[in-house]
Structure 1
Amino acid sequence: LHIDPFFTGTVTTHSSNAPIGDSAPTGSAYATGVLQKTSNVAIYPEADPENDLYPVDAARTYQPAATLLEAAKLLKNKAVGLVVTCEFPHATPADFSSHYHTRSAYKFIAPQMAYQNMDVMFGGGNSILTDDIRQHFKNNGTVLIQDDRNALLNYNGDGKVWALFGERALPYSIDRNPDNVPSLAEMTAKALDLLSKKEAGFFLMVEGSQVDWAAHANDAVGMITEYLDFDDAVGEVMKFAEKDGNTAVIIMSDHGNSGFTIGSRDCPGYDKLSIQQLF
């Protein structure tokens, strides 16, 4: 694998009030350095005195927590971008480019991401675009590419560009039609090509979004093929970084998915259910 030759370490991410977290607070932990509650996106958490794992200041509840992407853009004048295979306002990309207490609130998260004026946003979610977002793109000169792989791969402009494929998420890599939908590696290579033109450097977050989804579904083939798809993207990143000589690359998961389980995936009280309820 492309990831194999490099130094490895261990990082623990968790929620502010629980030892296990979902993508929203754990991705936000990387993006902001602030531990947050389940479903939080780049904000200071609400206090939960009975369960908090560290002191939480109630006076700061829901304050936005600045992200690495915002710091790179606003403080260092760097180009910034996101490349994902989920819909663009899903938890992990949202963690780096928006602020809200509920990860599923796309109607509040999507406009924030659009108004971040990112240089590159590649992923899914055409159905989530609103008239206001489309008008904003026209006003600030953002190129919007929709369901056109060739248009993305042939794009060589120096302005801001969004490329979205599918109404929500992209298909699993194993189901992808390569004539119509780019691979994560192709989107990553194009993002690197565009962002590296900027003199001040860039920040890019790339997510193999659906490794996690396949794990939730106990889909062994999906987990393997999605991870290999992500590893191909890593290969593009390392090829660029080794040639560039001035790029830091960090490869990580915002949270882990443990072993296979037996029973239904929709069990909110899994550890308390009877055998009959499980099946």
Structure 2
Amino acid sequence: MNYKNISAVFIAFTLFSCSTTKKTTQSPKPKNVILLISDGTGLSQISSAFFFKDSKPNYTRFKNIGLIKTSSAGQDITDSAAGATAFSCGVKTFNSAIGVANDSTAVQTIVELASSKNVKTGLIASSAITHATPGSFFGHQINRGMGDEIAVDLLGGKVDFFAAGGLKYFTKRKDKRNLVTELTALNYKIDTTALGKFAQIKSSQKAGFLLAKDQMPKMSQCRGDFLSDATELGIQFLSKDNAPFFIMTEGSQIDWGGHDNDAPYLIAELLDFDNLIGKVLDYAEKEGNTLVVVTSDHETGGFTLSAKRKKKADGTEYDDYSKVGTSFSTGGHSATLIPVFAFGPGSEEFNGIYENNEIFSKIVKLTGWDSKK
């Protein structure tokens, strides 16, 4: 081979390499999005899985990890309503706000936006469906305590599947309305007894499960695999016609364990959430076109993993560095940065440090749901 031929081969190889590189660096577009929110969970809560779980935590399966700043519009320390509204609407707002901007005007939620793009939507929580986090994905109220009003917002029909507690906000209301009857009239198949199987809702247009008067039971009260099972059922139902979908599932009660300064309560709920992560990642790995984002609205309790405090025979205390103990610094929320874990198409976009409302903008940009078409 002469010099000219060698040069030609080299140039052709270089052009091919550049072309190949260009193609592989294009941002992928996920078909589905699953957002998992562990309310009240900071790095120490996540770290507890590495010490108290009998198997390897599913958090270890993520390669793309970032951090969010959680302050609300007017407060350094957010509450769950403002934190969830940042995720659901992409705006910073005031504490207690549900799906409204800082001036109290309603803002389109990601559920409403996705629905307008013919994307199926689902919400699951171990709290009432009207509670701060799930409520912020379909409701528009100035105060998270307006449970009856938030329940009425669900009648907008943008949520295709939901599973949580909160039945009292639908049937034991001050205005005497029966919202279960009204939801049924809007083509929802509503079950207030058990989660059931896919075959029971397969032919339904929409489905909802209200399985407790208020919040769902604690893990210590035999809630079982509700979060994982409800999320798997939601995926089956929403994708039954090969439609794209958005699901938000909240592990609500990690936060409540933090407020109570109850480490066993907190850890049991966190381990249940880690099991949920495993189920979702199993699906996403197999399906291949699902973006999974895992984060929290804020940290609760100032939870700390430290050396276990023990007493000597004479009554003096000491730190046993061979054992992990737990402690709390507050009964409220803290301002610590919160981890974000992402898997699937576009997951690298969630690396770095950014504001909590950018979770919304990153998702809608990657999916193309922000387009005007």
Which TM-score bucket, shorter chain as reference?
0.7 to 0.9
Q: 1:86 is matched with which residue? A: 127
Secondary structure, counterpart of 1:4 in structure 2: helix
Give 1:118 shift. Answer: 1.4
Contact 2:81 2:96 in 1 (8 A): yes
Q: 2:12 is matched with which residue? A: none
Give 1:154 shift. Answer: 5.0
Instruction: Provide, for residues 102-150 of structure 1, a one-character-per-residue CA deviation record: whole Å limited to 9, x for no partner.
Output: 0010111111023234110100011111434223222222001012244
Give 1:33 shift. Answer: 1.2
TM-score by length of 1: 0.83
Give 1:221 shift. Answer: 0.7
After superposition, residues 131-170 of structure 1 pair within 5 angstroms as: 131-150=177-196, 155-170=201-216
Identity %: 29
Contact 2:138 2:158 in 1 (8 A): no
Instruction: Provide, for residues 148-206 of structure 1, a one-character-per-residue CA deviation record: whole Å limited to 9, x for no partner.
Output: 2446785433421111111100011121255xxx5211111111111112433011000
Give me the whole-angstrom Cα distance separating, in 1, the residues matched to 2:107 and 2:196: 37
Give me the whole-angstrom Cα distance separating, in 2, the residues matched to 1:190 and 1:9: 29
| 1:237 is aligned to 2:280 | yes
Contact 2:216 2:223 in 1 (8 A): no
After superposition, residues 197-236 of structure 1 pair within 5 angstroms as: 197-236=240-279
- The one of 170, 190, 194 equivalent to 1:129 is 170
Change (3 A) 1:63 1:198: farther
Give me the whole-angstrom Cα distance separating, in 2, the residues matched to 1:262 and 1:255: 15
Q: 2:299 is matched with which residue? A: 256
Give me the whole-angstrom Cα distance separating, in 1, the residues matched to 2:277 and 2:187: 30
Higher relative contact order (CA 8 A, sep 6+): 2
Contact 1:145 1:151 in 2 (8 A): no
Give me the whole-angstrom Cα distance separating, in 2, the residues matched to 1:153 and 1:12: 42
Give 1:236 shift. Answer: 1.5
Instruction: Provide, for residues 47-104 of structure 1, a one-character-per-residue CA deviation record: whole Å limited to 9, x for no partner.
Output: xxxxxxxxxxxxxx21111111111001x11100101000110000011111111001
Contact 2:139 2:154 in 1 (8 A): yes
Q: 2:143 is matched with which residue? A: 102
Give me the whole-angstrom Cα distance separating, in 1, the residues matched to 2:158 and 2:86: 23
Q: 1:50 is matched with which residue? A: none
Unaligned runs of 5+ in 1: 46-60, 267-279
Larger radius of gyration: 2
Give 1:209 shift. Answer: 0.5
Residue 122 of structure 1 aligns with an amino acid whose one-letter code is A
Greater alpha carbon shift after TM alignment, 135-144 vs 28-37: 135-144
Greater alpha carbon shift after TM alignment, 84-93 vs 188-197: 188-197
Q: 2:17 is matched with which residue? A: none
Secondary structure, counterpart of 2:113 in structure 1: helix
Give me the whole-angstrom Cα distance separating, in 1, the residues matched to 2:120 and 2:135: 17
| 1:65 is aligned to 2:102 | no
Secondary structure, counterpart of 1:170 in structure 2: coil
Matched residues, number: 246
Give me the whole-angstrom Cα distance separating, in 2, the residues matched to 1:62 and 1:262: 33
Give 1:31 shift. Answer: 1.0
- The one of 221, 233, 239 equivalent to 1:175 is 221
Contact 1:145 1:152 in 2 (8 A): no
TM-score by length of 2: 0.63
Give me the whole-angstrom Cα distance separating, in 1, the residues matched to 2:247 and 2:158: 14
The Cα RMSD (Å) is 1.9
Give me the whole-angstrom Cα distance separating, in 2, the residues matched to 1:102 and 1:175: 30
Secondary structure, counterpart of 1:21 in structure 2: coil
- The one of 58, 65, 77 equivalent to 1:2 is 58
Residue 218 of structure 1 aligns with an amino acid whose one-letter code is N
Change (3 A) 1:198 1:73: farther
